[in-house]
Structure 1
Amino acid sequence: METKRLNLVDTAWLNVETENAPMQVGGLLTFKMPDDAPKDLPRRIVEHYHSFTQAYSPWNHRLRAGRLRNVAPEWELLDEIDVEYHFRHSALPYPGGERELGELASRLHSHPLDFRHPPWEAHLIEGLEGNRFAIYIKLHHSLIDGIAGMRQLARALASDANDMDRPPFWAVEPKKRRKRSPSEVRPGMYRAVAELMGGAAEQVGSLPGFARVVRSMLKSARSSTGTAGLPFSSSSSVLNSRIQSQRRYATQLYSLTEFKALAANAHVTINDIVLAICGGALRRYLREIGELPKRPLTAGIPVSVRPADDQEAGNAITFIVANLGTDIESPTERLQAIADSTLRAKRELARLSAASITQYTVALMAPYILSLVTGMGGRTRPVFNVTVSNVPGPPGPLYVMGAEMEAFYPTSLVTHGQALNITVHGYADTLGFGFIGCRETLPSMQRLAVYAGETLDELRAAYGDTQGKTDKPEKTTATRRKKQPAKRSSG
């Protein structure tokens, strides 16, 4: 049987897994069935998907058993998979609302994956009100990073509502990639340690540039007007404590068009708007539970260094650290502080060569990985307080056997020292926010989704543009807000 060695960082994701902190990511996709669709369309989709037993990379990767499993692990590349195990048919008592869907997703994401099989599973969930169903998927972070995984998932969905025979995501053969020259490859986290151990001349030659960036970051932090987020610069908070196994999940759905208008009017980026919403929601939530630190919280923001045509397994990311402005009352001043912070971080990252990015990534993430490997996560000062990811998605509508996908809500992982993760996924004209957190550490965590919507209202009041409004109501799996007539629930 063909095998494949895990790279060093993917091995790290494997080894830091614990019962309370399974290293899995994924998504919750909701679909609207056509009015003329057969009532048993969900069952037909399941039967169609179950006919595909052959799987391609990475969905056919199973961890090889053996004494060296935790030292030098290898994937076994299977020719076929047990599709009835991996793709399951579930249902909510009809009519299932957003609350019930969120609760089910919370439970499903709380359970670790079984490494006796390729470490992923999916559930088609029928019984949603409004003639809808959902697909929940989770996969282990050692298998592939979230961006590449979601690209593969999107490729398996049809852009034509009349396409009824498209295979499921695990049965879509990867595209052949153009071989890139070494100068085109920007190494990310998955190559970092290996390259530091080799290519000494190149690494030494890149050190001056890396050192200049570090000095510039420190100079900004020491200045009276410095707004840059720096590793280890924030106080520990309740977000950075030890965690238990159960999760709570909440979502919000917004219009991308509106976010673009707000960003243009405020002269910032869409990602700055996302971070301002997260910062405002966290400020109110932590203040209400008496856990708001005096120093501003910082966000670790994953930045993909994976080329667009790269569908390989493994991880290809680095991070920047941004100030979330949680010490600032004014929403407009908070947004400006965030924008200044992210602009500086991106400028510094752009100055780095490929080799320097390797050094930067190792320097930033090695303490975080080490804290998890040694069991010190949640017991030391965090590298940053919370991870906030913004993942671009497919620009147009997608379908499964004629049913149009309404929204894509990401689910991510939490760890000791990182009890909350906020991930945003784009799809068509929507941005789906997914808040995943430790159920025991963060009481009533679903309120974050509510406060995110109310922070957006503040930004609308300051930078609103009627041309950026949408007729689509907001949807959330948090409790009902009075201003928006949408479906609400909690997970």
Structure 2
Amino acid sequence: METKRLNLVDMAWLNVETEHAPMQVGGLLTFQIPDGAPKDLPRRIVEHYHQFPQAFSPWNHRLRSGALRTVAPEWELLNEIDVEYHFRHSALPAPGGERELGELASRLHSHPLDFRHPPWEAHLIEGLEGNRFAIYIKLHHSLIDGVAGMRQLAKALADDPNDTERPPFWALPPKKRRKRSPDEARPGMYRAVAELMGGAAEQVGSLPGFARVVRSMLKSARSETGTAGLPFSSASSILNSRIQSQRRYATQLYSLAEFRSLAQNAGVTVNDIVLTICGGSLRRYLREIGELPDRPLTAGIPVSVRPADDQEAGNALTFIVANLATDIESTAERLQAVASSTRRAKHELSKLSAAAITQYTVALMAPYVLSLVTGMGGRTRPVFNVTVSNVPGPEGPLYIHGAEMEAFYPTSLVTHGQALNITVHGYADTLGFGFIGCRETLPSMQRLAVYAGETLDELRETYGDRDGGKKDDAAGEPKAASSKKSTAKRRKQTTKSATD
């Protein structure tokens, strides 16, 4: 059977898995069934998908068993999968609302994946109010990173509502299949050693550039006016404690066009707006429960270093650290502090070669991974307080059997020392926020979604368009959209959320 070795980053995600911290990511997609469609359209989709047992990379990767599984793990590449195991049919008691959908997603995301199968599963969930259904998917982070995963999913969705024959995502062959070299056919341990030795010269040559960036980061952090985030520079908080296995999940849906307008008016980026909303939400939430540190929280922001035409599985990510300025009361001032921090972090990263980026990523993440492997996660000072990811998505509407996708809400992972994860996913003219956290560590975590809307309102007051345009009166409230609204009208909503 053909095999494929995991790279070092993929191995790390595999080795830090624990009972209370499964390393899985995914998403919750909602769809509007069109007028005139069969009443049993969800069942027909399931039956259609179950006709495709053949799977391609990475969906056919199963962890190889054996004595070297934890030392030099390899994927076995299966020709077929148990499709009924991987793609399941679920339902909410109709009419299911956003809250009920959030509760189900919380439960599904709490359970670890079974490595006796390729580590992913999907659920088509019918019974949503407003003649809708959802698809929830989760996959192990060692299998693929979020950017590549979303590209794979998007390929399985049609841009034509009349396309009803498209295969599911696991049955789509990759565009390019690279032939394996003789070295790649050798045992995993040999390949790992050869790869490390072969890249040694390049790594050594990049050390001076890496050292310069580290010195620049330290200088900025020590300066009185420095606003750059620095690893291990933030205070410990309730976000960085030990966790349990159960999750709580909340979502918000916003207008991408509005975020772009706010960013342009403020002279910042859309991601700065996202981070400021997250910082404002965290400030309110932690102050309410009496856990707001005096020093600002920091965010670890994954940055994709995957080329646009790269179809490979695995992970291709590095991180920058940004200041969330949670010690600043004014939302407008907080935005400028966040923007200053991200500009500096991206500027420093741009100086690095590919080899130096590898060194930077290892230097940044090694203490975090080591703390998880040794069981010290949540007991030492955090590298950063919270992970905030912003994943770009398809720019046009997508369909399954004529049902239009309304929104994509991401789900991510939490670990000991990182009890909260905030991920944002773009789709068409929307940004879907997914807040996922440890149920026991963060009481009433769904309030983060509400406070995100309140922070957005404050940004609107300062940087909103002055043309008298109306905004949703219910912005930030965790409620379901009216079932009488069409998909187009749903898209124009300022916000929508599913909370548990």
Taking a change above 3 Å as real, the CA distance of residues 309 and 453 of structure 1, as seen in their structure-2 partners, is same
2:413 is equivalent to residue 407 of structure 1? no
* 3-state SS of 2:444 partner: coil
CA distance in 2, matches of 1:144, 1:194: 23
Taking a change above 3 Å as real, the CA distance of residues 255 and 332 of structure 1, as seen in their structure-2 partners, is same
> Which AA in structure 2 matches 1:229?
G
Q: TM-score, normalised by structure 2?
A: 0.92
Taking a change above 3 Å as real, the CA distance of residues 455 and 476 of structure 1, as seen in their structure-2 partners, is closer
Gaps spanning 5+ residues in structure 2: where?
Answer: 180-190, 482-492
2:383 is equivalent to residue 374 of structure 1? no
Give the corresponding residue for 1:312: 312
Give the corresponding residue for 2:426: 426
Give the corresponding residue for 2:321: 321
> Which AA in structure 2 matches 1:321?
V
CA distance in 2, matches of 1:6, 1:469: 51
Give the corresponding residue for 1:274: 274
Write the deviation string for residues 2-29 of structure 1: whole angstroms up to 9, x where unpaired: 1111122211111110110000000000
Give the corresponding residue for 1:383: 383
Gaps spanning 5+ residues in structure 1: where?
Answer: 180-190
Q: Is this contact kept in 2: 1:193–1:362, CA < 8 A?
A: no
Write the deviation string for residues 319-355 of structure 1: whole angstroms up to 9, x where unpaired: 0000001000000100000000000000000011111
Taking a change above 3 Å as real, the CA distance of residues 346 and 489 of structure 1, as seen in their structure-2 partners, is closer
C-alpha displacement of 1:478 = 3.4
1:262-301 → structure 2 map (5 Å cutoff): 262-301=262-301
Give the corresponding residue for 1:187: none
Write the deviation string for residues 120-157 of structure 1: whole angstroms up to 9, x where unpaired: 00000000000000000000001111110110000000
Taking a change above 3 Å as real, the CA distance of residues 371 and 449 of structure 1, as seen in their structure-2 partners, is same
CA distance in 2, matches of 1:449, 1:457: 13
C-alpha displacement of 1:199 = 3.0
CA distance in 2, matches of 1:77, 1:448: 41
C-alpha displacement of 1:470 = 8.2
* Number of matched pairs: 478
Q: Is this contact kept in 2: 1:174–1:311, CA < 8 A?
A: yes
Give the corresponding residue for 2:499: 490
> Which AA in structure 2 matches 1:421?
N
> Which AA in structure 2 matches 1:152?
Q
Give the corresponding residue for 1:110: 110
Write the deviation string for residues 214-266 of structure 1: whole angstroms up to 9, x where unpaired: 11111111111000000000011000000000000000000000000000000
CA distance in 1, matches of 2:439, 2:262: 33
CA distance in 1, matches of 2:308, 2:11: 24
Taking a change above 3 Å as real, the CA distance of residues 308 and 467 of structure 1, as seen in their structure-2 partners, is farther
* 3-state SS of 2:302 partner: strand
Taking a change above 3 Å as real, the CA distance of residues 193 and 422 of structure 1, as seen in their structure-2 partners, is farther
Give the corresponding residue for 1:210: 210
Give the corresponding residue for 1:236: 236
Q: Is this contact kept in 2: 1:50–1:84, CA < 8 A?
A: yes
* 3-state SS of 1:248 partner: strand
Give the corresponding residue for 1:302: 302
> Which AA in structure 2 matches 1:372?
L
CA distance in 1, matches of 2:443, 2:21: 18
Q: Is this contact kept in 2: 1:87–1:123, CA < 8 A?
A: yes
* 3-state SS of 1:421 partner: strand
Q: TM-score, normalised by structure 1?
A: 0.94
Write the deviation string for residues 139-198 of structure 1: whole angstroms up to 9, x where unpaired: 00011111101100000000000001000000011112799xxxxxxxxxxx99987654
> Which AA in structure 2 matches 1:397?
P
After alignment, is 304-313 or 442-451 more displaced?
Answer: 304-313
CA distance in 2, matches of 1:421, 1:327: 20
Q: Is this contact kept in 2: 1:450–1:479, CA < 8 A?
A: no
* 3-state SS of 1:216 partner: helix
Write the deviation string for residues 252-296 of structure 1: whole angstroms up to 9, x where unpaired: 000000000000000000000000000000000000001001110
CA distance in 2, matches of 1:440, 1:140: 23
C-alpha displacement of 1:205 = 2.1
Taking a change above 3 Å as real, the CA distance of residues 201 and 62 of structure 1, as seen in their structure-2 partners, is closer
Backbone CA RMSD of aligned residues: 2.2
* 3-state SS of 1:408 partner: strand
CA distance in 1, matches of 2:192, 2:336: 33
C-alpha displacement of 1:489 = 4.3
* 3-state SS of 2:251 partner: strand
1:447-466 → structure 2 map (5 Å cutoff): 447-465=447-465
Give the corresponding residue for 1:342: 342
Write the deviation string for residues 49-72 of structure 1: whole angstroms up to 9, x where unpaired: 000010000000111111221111
Identity %: 85
